[in-house]
Amino acid sequence: MSPSAALTEKEKQTLRLILRGHDAKSAARELGLSVHTINERLRDARRKLGVTSSREAARRLLAEEGQSLEAPPETLGDKALGDALSGVPAAGIAASATRRPLVLATIGVLAMSLVLAALFLPASPLSLLAPAPAISATAAAESEAAGAARAAEDFLELIDDGRWAESYAATGAEFHRLNTLERWSAVSARLRPPLGKLVTRDLVGNEWVPAPPAGYRLIKFRSAYAGGVTQTESISLAWEDGAWKVAGITFE
């Protein structure tokens, strides 16, 4: 029996929302439930699947249901120190947008195939162009939010694993201006190991901040560690060179 078979339909429903970019708060709004109820469902799902991250639980469910992690969401929802750098700045935590060619087959007796290639526009995280009907501004924004969340979570996982150089490589120009690799590695090595192994990490915030020079994405996680510490981890990310880059990090 697959691990996901132990999940209730309500737990699966909640994980599918997480995969589409929702956090606990927006999932609660979507389902008309309290945030406490959503967190309880996610906690039970993580336990049954043997994972520490709600996003990883959602990915496992998706994989077992035979879907592609790169597929766009079925419906629109709230949805990379470098939890970095993958995915489309479109729905479903990244950085660039691609579409496989779509083939439209024959109509009636006349056989005619049309291949529609999606265009790749790297200038902005909102540069996602699909064959008609065109993707809406709302969907593009949600895709952006999902990519940023994945980048932030990947960054934190690099820190959890003690991979200081790789996490530094996931930061952007502003971060590099204020921190060297040596300084970043020394501070990380002093502060992260005492926390112990990660127990849980849940996405609790994902918002766009229209600050100069070009705005940034602010992602917040609530994380618990084996050492007994529970803290809010705020990661700000800027869009640079076609990817989300960490501009700053705050632990509270």
In whole angstroms, give the CA distance from residue 118 to residue 128. Answer: 9
How many folded domains does the chain comprise? 2
pLDDT in tens, 218-240: 999 999 999 999 999 999 999 98
> pTM for the full model?
0.51
Last residue in a domain, options 19, 38, 64:
64
Q: Is residue 92 part of a domain?
A: no
What is the CA 169 to chain-centroid distance, rounded? Answer: 18
From 241, 237, 252, select the one nearest 82 (Cα to Cα).
237
Does residue 88 contact residue 94 with C-beta atoms inside 8 Å?
A: yes
- Residue 49 belongs to domain spanning: 3-64
* CATH number where 27 lies: 1.10.10.10
Domain annotation covers residue 128: no
Residue 107 lies in a domain: no
Considering the domain architecture, whether residues 148 and 245 belong to the same structural domain is answered as: yes
CATH classification of the domain holding 184: 3.10.450.100
Beta strand pairing call for 243-251 and 230-240: antiparallel
Partners of 240 in the β-ladder: 243
Residue 141 near residue 215 (C-beta atoms within 8 A): no
Taking all residues of the chain, what is their mean pLDDT, rounded to a whole number? 75
pLDDT at 141: 65
Reply yes or no on whether the pLDDT at 36 is more than 50: yes
**Do 145 and 43 share a domain, yes or no?**
no
Any domain includes 109: no
